[in-house]
Amino acid sequence: MDEIIAWISQSKKNRRMPYHKVIRALNLSVSPTTLAYTLRKRGYTRCKALRKPDLSPEHRRQRLIWALEHVNWTIEQWNKILWTDETWVTSECHTRIYVTRTTGEEYDDTCLRSRRQRYWGWMFWGSIHGNTKGPCLFWEKEWGTIKAETYCQRTVPIIDGYLRLLRSEGLQSMQDGAPGHSGAFTREELHSRVWDWMKSWIDERYPEDDELSYDLLRQAVRAAWDAVPDSFLAKLIDGMQARCQAVIDAEGGPIPY
Protein backbone atom coordinates (compact mmCIF):
# COMPACT_ATOMS: atom_id res chain seq x y z
CA MET A 1 0.00 0.00 0.00
CA ASP A 2 2.90 2.40 0.68
CA GLU A 3 3.99 2.03 -2.95
CA ILE A 4 0.47 2.76 -4.22
CA ILE A 5 0.17 5.89 -2.06
CA ALA A 6 3.60 7.09 -3.17
CA TRP A 7 2.60 6.63 -6.82
CA ILE A 8 -0.71 8.47 -6.38
CA SER A 9 0.99 11.35 -4.55
CA GLN A 10 3.76 11.99 -7.05
CA SER A 11 1.83 14.06 -9.61
CA LYS A 12 -1.38 15.95 -10.37
CA LYS A 13 -2.22 13.43 -13.05
CA ASN A 14 -2.03 10.53 -10.63
CA ARG A 15 -3.95 12.37 -7.90
CA ARG A 16 -6.86 12.96 -10.27
CA MET A 17 -7.14 9.39 -11.52
CA PRO A 18 -10.32 7.62 -10.41
CA TYR A 19 -9.65 4.34 -8.66
CA HIS A 20 -10.45 2.14 -11.67
CA LYS A 21 -7.76 3.94 -13.67
CA VAL A 22 -5.26 3.61 -10.80
CA ILE A 23 -5.91 -0.13 -10.80
CA ARG A 24 -5.33 -0.30 -14.55
CA ALA A 25 -2.18 1.84 -14.44
CA LEU A 26 -0.60 -0.22 -11.66
CA ASN A 27 -2.00 -3.54 -12.86
CA LEU A 28 -3.59 -4.24 -9.48
CA SER A 29 -5.79 -7.28 -8.91
CA VAL A 30 -8.39 -5.57 -6.69
CA SER A 31 -11.72 -3.88 -7.25
CA PRO A 32 -12.20 -0.08 -7.06
CA THR A 33 -14.31 -0.61 -3.93
CA THR A 34 -11.54 -2.56 -2.22
CA LEU A 35 -8.92 0.03 -3.18
CA ALA A 36 -11.15 2.86 -1.91
CA TYR A 37 -11.71 1.05 1.40
CA THR A 38 -8.00 0.34 1.88
CA LEU A 39 -6.97 3.91 1.07
CA ARG A 40 -9.68 5.27 3.38
CA LYS A 41 -8.18 3.28 6.25
CA ARG A 42 -4.93 5.17 5.60
CA GLY A 43 -6.77 8.51 5.54
CA TYR A 44 -7.06 8.96 1.76
CA THR A 45 -10.37 9.86 0.08
CA ARG A 46 -11.57 11.50 -3.13
CA CYS A 47 -12.00 15.22 -2.47
CA LYS A 48 -12.74 18.33 -4.50
CA ALA A 49 -9.57 19.97 -5.82
CA LEU A 50 -9.17 23.52 -4.52
CA ARG A 51 -7.52 26.56 -6.06
CA LYS A 52 -4.52 27.93 -4.22
CA PRO A 53 -5.60 31.09 -2.39
CA ASP A 54 -3.58 34.24 -3.00
CA LEU A 55 -3.13 35.29 0.62
CA SER A 56 -0.47 37.82 1.51
CA PRO A 57 0.50 38.36 5.17
CA GLU A 58 -1.75 41.42 5.17
CA HIS A 59 -4.67 39.44 3.77
CA ARG A 60 -4.20 36.81 6.48
CA ARG A 61 -4.12 39.51 9.15
CA GLN A 62 -7.34 41.09 7.84
CA ARG A 63 -9.07 37.70 7.58
CA LEU A 64 -8.15 36.88 11.16
CA ILE A 65 -9.35 40.24 12.49
CA TRP A 66 -12.65 39.90 10.63
CA ALA A 67 -13.20 36.35 11.85
CA LEU A 68 -12.49 37.31 15.46
CA GLU A 69 -14.98 40.18 15.20
CA HIS A 70 -17.76 37.97 13.79
CA VAL A 71 -17.24 34.51 15.29
CA ASN A 72 -19.88 35.08 17.97
CA TRP A 73 -22.53 36.57 15.71
CA THR A 74 -25.98 35.03 15.95
CA ILE A 75 -27.98 33.68 13.02
CA GLU A 76 -30.23 36.73 13.34
CA GLN A 77 -27.23 39.00 12.79
CA TRP A 78 -25.98 37.00 9.80
CA ASN A 79 -29.47 37.09 8.27
CA LYS A 80 -29.31 40.89 8.19
CA ILE A 81 -26.31 40.89 5.84
CA LEU A 82 -26.86 41.35 2.10
CA TRP A 83 -24.04 39.36 0.48
CA THR A 84 -23.09 40.37 -3.08
CA ASP A 85 -20.65 38.86 -5.55
CA GLU A 86 -20.25 38.01 -9.23
CA THR A 87 -19.12 34.98 -11.20
CA TRP A 88 -17.98 34.30 -14.74
CA VAL A 89 -20.18 31.68 -16.41
CA THR A 90 -19.11 29.94 -19.61
CA SER A 91 -20.54 27.19 -21.78
CA GLU A 92 -17.68 24.81 -20.95
CA CYS A 93 -18.22 21.99 -18.51
CA HIS A 94 -17.99 23.11 -14.86
CA THR A 95 -17.61 19.62 -13.47
CA ARG A 96 -15.58 19.62 -10.28
CA ILE A 97 -12.14 18.05 -10.29
CA TYR A 98 -11.52 15.42 -7.63
CA VAL A 99 -8.19 14.20 -6.28
CA THR A 100 -7.11 11.43 -3.94
CA ARG A 101 -5.61 12.94 -0.80
CA THR A 102 -5.53 12.84 2.97
CA THR A 103 -6.43 15.53 5.49
CA GLY A 104 -3.83 18.30 5.47
CA GLU A 105 -2.95 17.93 1.78
CA GLU A 106 -5.62 20.34 0.53
CA TYR A 107 -3.03 22.86 -0.70
CA ASP A 108 -0.32 20.47 -1.84
CA ASP A 109 0.68 21.45 -5.39
CA THR A 110 -0.38 18.07 -6.73
CA CYS A 111 -3.89 18.51 -5.27
CA LEU A 112 -4.65 22.02 -6.51
CA ARG A 113 -6.57 23.16 -9.56
CA SER A 114 -4.60 25.24 -12.03
CA ARG A 115 -5.86 28.67 -13.02
CA ARG A 116 -6.46 29.15 -16.72
CA GLN A 117 -7.59 31.93 -18.98
CA ARG A 118 -11.34 32.34 -19.16
CA TYR A 119 -13.38 31.09 -22.04
CA TRP A 120 -15.95 33.44 -23.52
CA GLY A 121 -19.00 33.73 -21.33
CA TRP A 122 -21.06 36.10 -19.24
CA MET A 123 -20.52 37.87 -15.93
CA PHE A 124 -23.42 37.37 -13.55
CA TRP A 125 -23.86 39.40 -10.35
CA GLY A 126 -26.18 38.39 -7.54
CA SER A 127 -27.00 38.89 -3.89
CA ILE A 128 -28.50 36.91 -1.01
CA HIS A 129 -29.59 37.52 2.56
CA GLY A 130 -30.64 34.78 4.91
CA ASN A 131 -32.44 32.20 2.80
CA THR A 132 -33.56 34.80 0.27
CA LYS A 133 -32.14 35.71 -3.14
CA GLY A 134 -31.85 39.47 -3.62
CA PRO A 135 -31.26 41.52 -6.79
CA CYS A 136 -29.22 40.09 -9.66
CA LEU A 137 -28.04 41.27 -13.08
CA PHE A 138 -25.95 40.31 -16.10
CA TRP A 139 -22.90 42.48 -16.72
CA GLU A 140 -23.63 43.50 -20.30
CA LYS A 141 -20.83 43.29 -22.87
CA GLU A 142 -20.98 46.98 -23.74
CA TRP A 143 -20.28 47.91 -20.10
CA GLY A 144 -16.69 46.70 -20.35
CA THR A 145 -14.72 45.31 -17.42
CA ILE A 146 -15.80 45.73 -13.82
CA LYS A 147 -13.95 48.67 -12.30
CA ALA A 148 -14.70 50.90 -9.33
CA GLU A 149 -16.40 53.52 -11.50
CA THR A 150 -18.56 51.11 -13.51
CA TYR A 151 -19.39 49.04 -10.44
CA CYS A 152 -20.66 52.12 -8.62
CA GLN A 153 -22.59 53.16 -11.71
CA ARG A 154 -24.28 49.82 -12.43
CA THR A 155 -24.69 47.88 -9.18
CA VAL A 156 -24.46 50.31 -6.26
CA PRO A 157 -27.80 51.97 -7.15
CA ILE A 158 -29.43 48.51 -7.19
CA ILE A 159 -27.97 47.66 -3.79
CA ASP A 160 -28.97 51.03 -2.38
CA GLY A 161 -32.52 50.73 -3.70
CA TYR A 162 -32.91 47.22 -2.30
CA LEU A 163 -31.63 48.25 1.13
CA ARG A 164 -34.05 51.18 1.15
CA LEU A 165 -36.91 48.87 0.15
CA LEU A 166 -36.15 46.53 3.08
CA ARG A 167 -35.10 49.28 5.48
CA SER A 168 -37.37 47.91 8.20
CA GLU A 169 -35.39 44.64 8.23
CA GLY A 170 -32.14 46.46 8.98
CA LEU A 171 -30.18 44.90 6.13
CA GLN A 172 -26.50 45.81 5.67
CA SER A 173 -24.46 45.30 2.51
CA MET A 174 -21.35 43.12 2.59
CA GLN A 175 -19.25 42.66 -0.56
CA ASP A 176 -16.14 40.67 -1.37
CA GLY A 177 -12.66 42.15 -1.66
CA ALA A 178 -12.41 42.52 -5.44
CA PRO A 179 -10.58 45.72 -6.54
CA GLY A 180 -13.66 47.17 -8.22
CA HIS A 181 -15.77 47.04 -5.09
CA SER A 182 -16.13 50.02 -2.81
CA GLY A 183 -15.88 47.93 0.37
CA ALA A 184 -13.65 45.03 1.37
CA PHE A 185 -13.88 42.25 3.93
CA THR A 186 -12.37 38.88 4.63
CA ARG A 187 -13.79 36.88 1.76
CA GLU A 188 -15.11 33.42 2.51
CA GLU A 189 -16.50 31.14 -0.16
CA LEU A 190 -20.13 31.76 0.72
CA HIS A 191 -21.07 32.91 -2.77
CA SER A 192 -18.59 30.57 -4.43
CA ARG A 193 -20.70 27.69 -3.17
CA VAL A 194 -23.81 29.27 -4.66
CA TRP A 195 -21.98 29.64 -7.97
CA ASP A 196 -20.83 26.01 -7.79
CA TRP A 197 -24.42 24.89 -7.24
CA MET A 198 -25.65 26.92 -10.21
CA LYS A 199 -22.91 25.70 -12.55
CA SER A 200 -23.52 22.08 -11.57
CA TRP A 201 -27.23 22.66 -12.27
CA ILE A 202 -26.35 23.97 -15.75
CA ASP A 203 -23.99 21.04 -16.41
CA GLU A 204 -26.71 18.53 -15.59
CA ARG A 205 -29.17 20.12 -18.01
CA TYR A 206 -26.76 21.02 -20.82
CA PRO A 207 -24.21 18.17 -20.67
CA GLU A 208 -23.35 18.19 -24.38
CA ASP A 209 -23.70 21.90 -25.10
CA ASP A 210 -20.12 23.17 -25.16
CA GLU A 211 -20.93 26.16 -27.33
CA LEU A 212 -24.15 27.68 -26.05
CA SER A 213 -25.04 30.97 -27.68
CA TYR A 214 -24.96 34.04 -25.48
CA ASP A 215 -28.75 34.13 -25.40
CA LEU A 216 -29.10 30.47 -24.39
CA LEU A 217 -26.29 30.80 -21.84
CA ARG A 218 -28.04 33.81 -20.35
CA GLN A 219 -31.30 31.86 -20.10
CA ALA A 220 -29.52 28.93 -18.46
CA VAL A 221 -27.78 31.14 -15.88
CA ARG A 222 -31.00 32.90 -14.90
CA ALA A 223 -32.85 29.59 -14.63
CA ALA A 224 -30.07 28.20 -12.41
CA TRP A 225 -30.22 31.29 -10.16
CA ASP A 226 -33.98 30.93 -9.80
CA ALA A 227 -33.56 27.23 -8.98
CA VAL A 228 -31.15 27.69 -6.03
CA PRO A 229 -33.15 26.33 -3.04
CA ASP A 230 -33.89 28.56 -0.06
CA SER A 231 -32.78 25.71 2.20
CA PHE A 232 -29.35 25.70 0.54
CA LEU A 233 -28.89 29.40 1.26
CA ALA A 234 -30.04 28.96 4.86
CA LYS A 235 -27.51 26.17 5.36
CA LEU A 236 -24.69 28.42 4.15
CA ILE A 237 -25.66 31.16 6.59
CA ASP A 238 -25.96 28.64 9.43
CA GLY A 239 -22.35 27.65 8.83
CA MET A 240 -20.85 31.14 9.11
CA GLN A 241 -19.80 30.76 12.74
CA ALA A 242 -17.94 27.54 11.89
CA ARG A 243 -16.21 29.31 8.98
CA CYS A 244 -15.08 32.15 11.22
CA GLN A 245 -13.72 29.65 13.74
CA ALA A 246 -11.88 27.80 10.98
CA VAL A 247 -10.19 31.05 9.89
CA ILE A 248 -9.19 31.72 13.50
CA ASP A 249 -7.80 28.19 13.87
CA ALA A 250 -5.82 28.72 10.64
CA GLU A 251 -4.54 32.11 11.91
CA GLY A 252 -6.03 33.84 8.88
CA GLY A 253 -4.84 31.22 6.43
CA PRO A 254 -6.86 29.19 3.92
CA ILE A 255 -9.61 26.91 5.18
CA PRO A 256 -11.02 23.73 3.60
CA TYR A 257 -14.48 25.12 2.77
Whether residue 191 is predicted with pLDDT greater than 90 in this model: the reply is: no
Rounded to whole angstroms, the Cα distance separating 99 from 138 reads 33
Give 191 or 157, the one with higher predicted confidence.
Answer: 157
pLDDT digits (tens, 9 = 90+) for 127-145: 999 999 999 999 888 888 7
- pTM of the predicted model, to two decimals? 0.67
Q: Per-residue pLDDT averaged across 106-129, rounded?
A: 76
- How high is the pLDDT of residue 128? 93
- How high is the pLDDT of residue 3? 92
CA dihedral in degrees (211, 212, 213, 216; nearest 10)? 180
Name the nearest CA neighbour of 244 among 72, 77, 58, 59: 72
pLDDT digits (tens, 9 = 90+) for 178-187: 443 333 433 3
Give 207 or 216, the one with higher predicted confidence.
Answer: 216
- How high is the pLDDT of residue 186? 33
- How high is the pLDDT of residue 253? 84
Instruction: Label residue 94 by pLDDT band (50, 70, 90).
Output: low
Give 145 or 175, the one with higher predicted confidence.
Answer: 145
Helix, strand, coil % over all residues of the chain, rounded to 5: 50, 20, 35
| Integer CA distances (angstroms), 179 to 13, 110, 195, 196, 238, in order | 34, 29, 20, 22, 28
- Domain 52-249, CATH: 3.30.420.10
Rounded to whole angstroms, the Cα distance separating 97 from 216 reads 25
